[in-house]
Structure 1
Amino acid sequence: MLHKLNIRINKKLFRYLSYDVLIVCSMLVLFGAINIYSDTKRYAGIQYFKLQMSWLVIGLIAVGFIILIDYMVIANYAPLIYWSSIILLIINQFIGDTVNGATGWISIGSRAIQPSEFAKLALIIMLAKKLDDMEGKINNLKNFLTICFYAFIPMAIILKQPDMGMTMVCFFTVLGIVFIAGLDLRVIVGGLTGVIGLIVVIWNSPLMKPYWKGRLVAFINPEAYSKDYSFQLKQSLIGIGSGGASGLGYGNGSQYMFVPESHTDFIFAVIGEEWGLMGAIFILLLYGYLIVRFIHISKKSKDIFGKIICIGITASFLFSIFQNMGMTIGLMPITGITLPLLSYGGSSMLTNFIGIGLVLNIGMRRKKINF
Structure 2
Amino acid sequence: MGRFINNFKLQGDKVIWIIIFLLSIISLLVVYSSTGTLAYKVKGGNTSYFFIKQLVLLLGCYFIIWVTHKIPYKHYSSWANMGLVVAVGMLLLAKIVGVNLNQASRWITIPVIGFNFQPSELAKLALILFVSRILSKFQTDKECQKEAFWKIIASIGVVCGIIFLDDFSTSALLGGICLMLMFIGRISAKYLLGTMGVGLGLIIVLLIIAPFLPDSFGRIHTVRNRILNFASPGEQKEDNGQNYQVDQAKIAIVSGGILGKGPGNSDQRNFLPHPYSDFIYAIILEEWGWVGGFGILALYLFLIYRAGSIVRKCDRTFPAFLVIGLSLSIVAQALTNMAVSINLIPVTGQPLPLVSMGGTSLIFTSAALGMILSVSRSVKEQDVLKHAEN
Map of 1:357 onto structure 2: 370
Which is further off, 162-171 or 181-190? 181-190
The question of 1:57 aligning with 2:59 is answered yes
Deviations 1:66-100 (CA, angstroms, capped at 9, x unpaired)? 22221112211211111111111111111211233
Map of 1:342 onto structure 2: 355
Measure the CA separation in 2 of the matches of 1:113 and 1:9. Answer: 34
Which secondary structure does the structure 2 equivalent of 1:67 belong to?
A: helix
Map of 1:156 onto structure 2: 161
Map of 2:227 onto structure 1: 216
Map of 2:275 onto structure 1: 262
Measure the CA separation in 2 of the matches of 1:158 and 1:136. Answer: 32
Measure how far apart 1:175 and its partner are: 2.1
Which is further off, 83-92 or 226-235? 226-235
Question: Do 2:145 and 2:187's aligned partners in 1 also have CA atoms closer than 8 Å?
Answer: no
Which secondary structure does the structure 2 equivalent of 1:103 belong to?
A: strand
* Gaps in structure 2 of 5+ consecutive residues: 40-46
Map of 1:5 onto structure 2: none
Question: Do 2:340 and 2:347's aligned partners in 1 also have CA atoms closer than 8 Å?
Answer: yes
TM-score (normalizing by structure 2) = 0.87
Aligned-partner residue type, residue 280 of structure 1: G
Identity of aligned residues (%): 28
**Alignment equivalent of 2:193, drawn from 181, 189, 192:** 189
Question: Do 2:139 and 2:185's aligned partners in 1 also have CA atoms closer than 8 Å?
Answer: no
Measure how far apart 1:233 and its partner are: 0.9
Q: How does 1:280-319 map to 2 (within 5 A)?
A: 280-319=293-332
Q: How many residues align?
A: 363
Measure the CA separation in 1 of the matches of 2:8 and 2:310. Answer: 15
Question: Do 1:341 and 1:349's aligned partners in 2 also have CA atoms closer than 8 Å?
Answer: yes
**Alignment equivalent of 1:26, drawn from 17, 21, 45:** 21
Measure how far apart 1:136 and its partner are: 5.9
Cα RMSD between the aligned structures?
2.3
Measure the CA separation in 1 of the matches of 2:10 and 2:68. Answer: 16
Structure 1's 221 and 63: CA in aligned 2 closer, same or farther, altered over 3 A?
A: same
Measure the CA separation in 2 of the matches of 1:11 and 1:134. Answer: 37
Measure how far apart 1:193 and its partner are: 2.6
Measure the CA separation in 2 of the matches of 1:189 and 1:267. Answer: 35
* Gaps in structure 1 of 5+ consecutive residues: 1-7
Measure how far apart 1:240 and its partner are: 0.9
**Alignment equivalent of 1:132, drawn from 115, 136, 148:** 136
Which secondary structure does the structure 1 equivalent of 2:277 belong to?
A: coil
Measure the CA separation in 1 of the matches of 2:4 and 2:79. Answer: 21
TM-score (normalizing by structure 1) = 0.91
Question: Do 2:37 and 2:270's aligned partners in 1 also have CA atoms closer than 8 Å?
Answer: no
The question of 1:115 aligning with 2:119 is answered yes
Question: Do 1:35 and 1:271's aligned partners in 2 also have CA atoms closer than 8 Å?
Answer: yes
Which is further off, 54-63 or 15-24? 15-24
Map of 1:176 onto structure 2: 180
Measure how far apart 1:254 and its partner are: 0.9
Deviations 1:333-366 (CA, angstroms, capped at 9, x unpaired)? 1112111111111111111111011011111112
Measure the CA separation in 1 of the matches of 2:76 and 2:83. Answer: 9
Map of 2:250 onto structure 1: 237
Deviations 1:87-136 (CA, angstroms, capped at 9, x unpaired)? 11111111211233321111123321111001100111111111122136
Aligned-partner residue type, residue 122 of structure 2: F
Question: Do 2:145 and 2:188's aligned partners in 1 also have CA atoms closer than 8 Å?
Answer: no
Measure how far apart 1:13 and its partner are: 12
Deviations 1:290-313 (CA, angstroms, capped at 9, x unpaired)? 111111112212211101111111
The question of 1:38 aligning with 2:33 is answered yes
Which secondary structure does the structure 1 equivalent of 2:242 belong to?
A: coil
Structure 1's 322 and 137: CA in aligned 2 closer, same or farther, altered over 3 A?
A: farther
Structure 1's 312 and 348: CA in aligned 2 closer, same or farther, altered over 3 A?
A: same
Measure the CA separation in 2 of the matches of 1:298 and 1:324. Answer: 26
Question: Do 1:176 and 1:311's aligned partners in 2 also have CA atoms closer than 8 Å?
Answer: no
Measure the CA separation in 1 of the matches of 2:145 and 2:325. Answer: 21
